[in-house]
A and B are shown apart, each in its own frame.
Chain A
Amino acid sequence: MEELISINNLSFGYDETLLHKNINMKFSRGKVSAIMGGSGCGKTTILKLIAGQLSPKSGQVLVDGQVVHEQGRDGIHNIRRKMGMLFQHGALFTDLSVFDNVAFPMREHTNLPENMIKDLVLLKLNAVGLRGAQKKLPSELSGGMARRVALARAIALDPDIIMYDEPFAGLDPISMAVICDLIRSLNDALGATSIIVTHDVAETFSFADYIYFLADGEVAAEGSPKQLLASKLPFVRQFIHSEKDGPVPFHVDAPEYGLDLQL
């Protein structure tokens, strides 16, 4: 099957208002895909739907041919074992050291002896360049470093699917370049399928294979970076060229200015 993950006719909302209306997305094996859009348009929610933390109101999310929200406890367990997720601020376990954080998935899900775990942890930390920080606690790390450790933890069991929730948010340019490079190289080295939720245009367009734009609960545009750069759709143009006003208006809905000033 070409797609490892597919979202079919999905509708979702936390209450009566729908966040996603009948959307369709496909994520091909071995590719790096990005989901972009304005704040609050439901990008992170898609990741949670794929991981089975939320159930859709209608439609399906399929991972490797299985419908996620129809799985029982064991089924979900197996699907999640194939996934690694990088949360926005790392979400490292604050009472464990860097080493123990990366070792966590291995110790929980495998029966490997400690010396093998040590080798694997050092391998993963080396891949993200933080082998020297293994004894530190998360509180002692900078934001960029914490995120790299979280990335090492996400790939600890060599997952088939790696999901990134706003991996570039709040990073300095150097850390951003590092993460960019890591996302691409890890994806290719592991033969994994990566999904990035972000609103960072420059970085994402430099290495993503396919991009989805979400707006108003629908897929407003999709395509490869080259296709989207050439797109004439007003929403896409406003987003890519960072325009202040366009389909996403500058002014929030408000009564006439004159009325507000009580002229």
Chain B
Amino acid sequence: MNNMLNFIAGVGSSFRSKMTRLGAGTRLFFLILIYSVDSFKRIGLTIREIYFTGVLSLVIIIVSAFFVGMVLGLQGYYTLEKYGSSEAIGVLVALALVRELGPVVTALLFAGRAGTAITAEIGLMKATEQLSAMEVMAVSPVARIIAPRFWAGMISMPILATIFSMVGILGGYFIAVLVIGVDEGAFWSQMQANVDFSNDIVDGAIKSIVFGFACTIIALFEGFDAPPTAEGVSRATTRTVVISSLAVLGLDFILTSFMFV
């Protein structure tokens, strides 16, 4: 009986602590909004962060996209060929990327690369009292450190997702047309006939913006909230990846059921 009670109490307190963190995260988001005016007046800060989150993620995004596109081309071709529909490979690759893989895989890679970098950087600044020092110097750390990184993430993610989709399609083109020999005209025309800009491409872009928001705010919060020790920071970076990934996949399901069904 006691064990059962302990278990229930555990669930309750775990839920309570998660809600507390959610509340703290929301509070951080509103603080960011309040202090955001500064990030746009001092646009140099934001641009610097766009470099670190976006530009430095380009290599991993482009390489991954090319491989994903190629795999889609390969897998898709051998399945479609059985039904004599190998010319639809363009449609398959394009829709899979634009609707799902572009936003989702980009978000997961973003969380792993840029998200952890943000969490570690902010956690470290907290541990070495840099954030405290800034506070005592009457400069708000939210305004100067956190808000620019938030906007940088929000801007970088959609751009990265779009690049991912395009490069992935090129990867699929490379495998299907140049290597396997599917008709080039059919590849593109079938794609154009079946990929709708406002339904597919724009919806994919909306997804990437939502994912960008989730990954960035989670990374920022975990860093800001991390215990100021080496162990605390390393745990926080792990949590960033795990929670971001789960959030992205969960949001993907919700958004997909709204948009594409």
Contacts and interface: CB of A to CB of B under 8 A. Distances in A.
A and B touch in the complex (CB under 8 A): yes
B129 interface: yes
A81 B132 contact: no
| Chain A interface residue number, banded | 20 to 34
Nearest to B135: A53
Interface in A63-94: 76-77, 80-81, 83-85, 87-89, 91-94
B137 interface: yes
Contact of A94 (B130, B132, B138): B130
A85 B138 contact: no
A217 interface: no
A205 interface: no
B129 A91 contact: yes
Interface stretch (A12-20, A27-35, A102-110, A237-245): A102-110
Interface string A87-121: 11101111000000000110011000000000000
A3 B129 CA distance: 29
B149 to A, nearest CB: 13
Contact of B133 (A81, A87, A108): A87
A53 B139 contact: no
B13 interface: no
A51 interface: yes
B128 interface: yes
B130 A108 contact: no
Label chain B's interface by main secondary structure: helix
B207 to A, nearest CB: 33
Nearest to B145: A93
A92 B138 CA distance: 15
B136 interface: yes
A85 B128 contact: no
B247 to A, nearest CB: 28
B129 A87 contact: yes
Label chain A's interface by main secondary structure: mixed
Interface string B121-152: 00011001110111111110000000000000
A77 B124 CA distance: 25
B138 A109 contact: yes
A4 to B, nearest CB: 16
A108 B128 contact: no
A91 B137 contact: no
A89 B138 CA distance: 20
A91 B133 contact: yes
A93 B130 contact: yes
Contacts of A105: 137, 139
A87 B138 CA distance: 15
Interface string A134-154: 000000000000000010000
A88 B129 contact: yes
Given A77-B138, A81-B138, 4 more contacts: A53-B132, A80-B138, A93-B133, A104-B137
Interface of B: 124-125, 128-130, 132-139
Interface of A: 51, 53, 76-77, 80-81, 83-85, 87-89, 91-94, 104-105, 108-109, 150
